Amino acid sequence: MTEPQPYESALDAIPGAHPYPRSSRYHDAEIGIHTQPDGTPVRYVKRRLLPPLGDSPEDAETTHTVSSGERPDHLGQRYFGDPAAWWRIADANPVLDPRELTAEPGEEIEIPNGFPGGSGGRHGR
């Protein structure tokens, strides 16, 4: 009896398949394989470098003033029509943890417009 194939291996057999949904920040990221000393292959997402935002009106950013009780997913829904698009806002701001985006009511954060790699939604077409 053969062992079932791991999910990752099954995806490799499908041309164009990727382990992340299209709405994920990692959808277009390259997948690497690290081989551990015991020979076990471990998949990982390779480093994803962001291009600088340009000066064209398409690349302009909007400023948002954080209100009490807001969360990153609220902002993703408001600006991109998808609560899972919060990562686009996180990438446009100098934060390590997405909760930092909305931690301080009254703080101004940048909302990207036409951000590379995204579908646009209501705000970023």
pLDDT of residue 106: 96
Q: What is the mean pLDDT of the chain?
A: 74
Structure tokens belonging to residue 66: 């954080």
pLDDT of residue 120: 42
Query: Domains of the chain, with CATH numbers?
Result: 59-110 (3.10.350.10)
pLDDT of residue 125: 36
The residues with which 82 forms a beta bridge, in sequence order, are none
Name the helix (H) or strand (E) containing 8.
helix 7-12
Q: Which of 8-12, 36-40, 71-75, 111-115 has the lowest mean pLDDT?
A: 8-12
- Categorize the per-residue pLDDT at 45 as very low, low, confident or very high, splitting at 50, 70 and 90: confident
For 50-99, how does the pLDDT look when each residue is reduced to its tens digit (9 = 90+)? 555 555 455 557 899 999 999 999 999 999 998 988 988 988 888 888 89
Q: Residue 53 in contact with residue 102, Cβ under 8 Å?
A: no
pLDDT of residue 2: 52
